[in-house]
Structures are given as structure tokens and as C-alpha cells.
Amino acid sequence: MKLKWNMRTEAKITIAIAGLFLLIAFGERKQSGTVCKDIVVDMENTNENHFLEEADILEIIDNSGQTIIGKNIEEINLRALENKLEMDRHISRAEIFGDVKGNLTVNVTLRRPIARLVRTDGPDAYVAEDGKVMETSEKYSARIILVSGDIVKKLINTGDLNALPEGLELMAMIEFVNKDKFWKAQVAQLDFNKSGKVFIYPQVTGQIVEFGLPENIEEKFRKLMIFYKEILPQMGWTKYDRVNIEYEGQVIAE
């Protein structure tokens, strides 16, 4: 009797497994024949910037050279669409997939700008948090630190700050500033001269800060903080026009 029960149980399990495979096979056949009825755009990081909107994403897809609406999802080259989207410098990642309802979902992650590259002989550009240089937009202007001077044109032409030693130094300095609440509010602009030395233009105090080369960053900002906390309150916030923190162990105010 026990053996008979086991055989019956095994038969039920076999039938259940077979049914499951049939459902999976049916689902795959159903999805493979699914016609794309709609494109759903899901954008990340839109709170940090508004360089692109849903209409811009749809326009890129529309100009991809592929027929999307009305075509079987399995016949759409999804990877080609993702590559097309990622060619836009404002987009760091694109992922596209279809479902059995006929929706083509487009997940897009936008790059976050951390600095604006300002130039007088051409259009400005933004630096993203991954070091990539991207175009500005008429739709949105980010309120972030400005970078100007002789270094800017080279950075824009390169397109990626990670590709240049001076670009990596600038990234390190910007990241240091942005991580500190006080410095992020105080540092308005970083200006580079031909020698690669940095001049800081602050938001509140009027002194131009002669920073020197973008190295020993933490130590130099520590000296600048001492100047703000201990010297300016005693001598007056408008007494000095310039403060030099370039040299080790020195703070020189003029």
C-alpha cells in the first residue's frame, strides 16, 4: 500500500513538472510573438538634473532607424537602441526590455553634473561625477561650481577628465569641495592660470584665494579654514583682498 502511494505521488509530481514546462514554453512563445504597442520611459536622477526629458528619449529611439511600434519585440535590436541612447553624453546607462503586454520599457540613468567648464572662445560644458564631459542644455542650468582658465579647452576637447593628469587633479579637488557642506557653499569658482595654479573665488568673503597647484588639497583647505575662523573675525572680513595658502606652513594675506 505504501509503494502504491509513492508511485501515485511521483506521477503527480511528474505531471506538475510537465505542466510547468508547458507553461514556460507557452509564455516564451507568447512573448516571442508579442507586438510592441507602447514605449514606457523610466528615467533615474531626474531630481538632480533636467537635461533630458521623456520626449528627448523617445526622439532618440524614433531616430534610431528601427521600426518599434507594431513590430514583434523579439525582432527589435534592443542592444542597438541601448547603444544609441548611451551615445548621448547626458546618459550614463540605458537598459531596454519588453513584456508580454507589448510594452517596451526604457530605463535610463542620467549623469549628475558636478562642475561647469566656462570658456570665452566656445560653448560651456559640464563635468559629470564620472569625469565625462557633456554639453550644456537650454532646458536646464545646474547651480554648481564653475571652472575657468587655460585648462578648460583641453578638458572639453578630451571629453573625459580621467584621461588627463590635470583632469584627475581637478576631479579630486571638486570632490573634496562637494563633500564638505561649508566648502560647497563657499567655493564659487576655480580659475586656472597657464602654470596650472588654482585661484578660488568665494561666494561670501571677498578675498581671492591663491591655492597654488591642485595638490595637498586637504591641508590647504585646513589652512584656509583657520584664516576664516581665526584671522578674519579679528581683522575684519573686508580687510584683505588676497590670501595665499600655496606654501607649506604659511598663510599670507594682503
Q: Which residues contact 59 (CB under 8 A, 6 or more apart)?
A: none
pLDDT score of 46: 64
- Orientation angle between helical segments 54-62 and 78-86, nearest 10 degrees: 120
Please choose, from the candidates 110, 68, 103, the residue with its C-alpha nearest in 3D space to the C-alpha of residue 89: 110
Q: What is the CB neighbour count within 10 angstroms for residue 215? A: 13
Query: Looking at domain 113-253, what is its CATH homologous superfamily?
Result: Cell division protein FtsQ/DivIB (3.40.50.11690)
Grid-cell match 533630458, residue found: 52
158: three-class secondary structure by DSSP: helix
Give this prediction's pTM.
0.79
pLDDT score of 177: 96
The second-level CATH assignment, the architecture, of 38-110 is Roll (3.10)
Q: Phi and psi dihedrals of 2, rounded to 5?
A: -65, -40
Q: What is the pLDDT along the chain (254 residues), one digit of tens a residue?
A: 444 445 455 545 444 454 444 444 444 444 457 899 999 999 887 666 678 889 999 999 999 999 999 999 999 999 999 999 999 999 999 999 998 899 999 999 999 999 999 998 889 999 999 999 999 888 778 889 999 998 999 999 999 999 999 999 999 999 999 999 999 999 999 999 999 999 999 988 778 999 999 999 999 999 999 988 888 888 777 778 888 999 888 888 88
In the beta sheet, which residues pair with residue 135? 125
Handedness of CA 205, 207, 208, 212 (dihedral sign): negative
pLDDT score of 142: 82
Handedness of CA 80, 155, 209, 214 (dihedral sign): positive
Task: Classify strands 91-98 and 103-110 as parallel, antiparallel or unpaired.
Answer: antiparallel
Q: Are 153 and 119 in contact (CB under 8 A)?
A: yes
pLDDT score of 5: 47
Please choose, from the candidates 222, 232, 190, the residue with its C-alpha nearest in 3D space to the C-alpha of residue 209: 190
- Biggest CA pair distance of the chain: 103
pLDDT score of 50: 74
Distance CA 141, CA 114 (A): 12
- Orientation angle between helical segments 151-158 and 165-179, nearest 10 degrees: 100
pLDDT score of 8: 54
pLDDT score of 3: 42
Q: Where are the alpha helices (DSSP H) in the chain?
A: 2-32, 54-62, 78-86, 151-158, 165-179, 181-186, 217-226, 232-235
Give the residue extent of every domain in the chain. Answer: 38-110, 113-253
